[in-house]
Amino acid sequence: MVSVRLVHRRDTSDEQTAAGAESEGEIETVLAGDVDVARSTLEQARGLMFRRSVSDGYALVFPFGDADTQWLHMLFVPFAIDALWLVDGAVTKRKRLAPFVGLGRGRADTVVELPAGAADEVAVGDEVQLVE
């Protein structure tokens, strides 16, 4: 069995440190070590519906073919999530979706669902990748 992680990379070359000097390089953090990939139409339609919760360190990834408008809904999902819309691994949108009534859409070839708060440090333009 192959272990897959969801990794967030943020370029820090343009950021200022507390002392005012420019920092260089990338910061890499693991967003999730417990990753499910919803490949079939049925898995994608079901998503997180009917689950009572998800654990910290969990992600559900929805790979789609080409980048297009992808919708998410929170019908029958009783907990908040962070959603990321990605094109070629770059974050195009991030949104917190409320339980039961949350709705979101964005342009993506991949969508990621995480526990609420897990994507607080992720910004549009950052890279998020599945890594073996």
Contact 80, 118 (CB under 8 A): no
Residue matched to tokens 């005012």: 20
Fold of 5-15+23-131: Jelly Rolls (2.60.120)
Confidence of residue 19 (pLDDT cuts 50, 70, 90): very low
Q: Would you state the pLDDT for residue 24?
A: 64
Nearest partner of 98 among 83, 120, 119, judged by Cα: 83
pLDDT digits 0-9 by tens, 74-129: 999 999 999 999 999 999 999 999 999 999 999 999 999 999 999 999 999 999 99
Per-domain residue ranges of the chain:
5-15+23-131
Judge whether 67 and 108 are in contact, CB under 8 Å.
yes
Confidence (pTM): 0.89
Q: What is the pLDDT of residues 65-84, one digit of tens each?
A: 899 999 999 999 999 999 99
**Cα 112 to Cα 19, 24, 37, distances in angstroms:** 35, 28, 9
Which stretch of 2-6, 21-25, 29-33, 81-85 has the lowest confidence by average pLDDT? 21-25
**More confident call, 107 vs 15:** 107
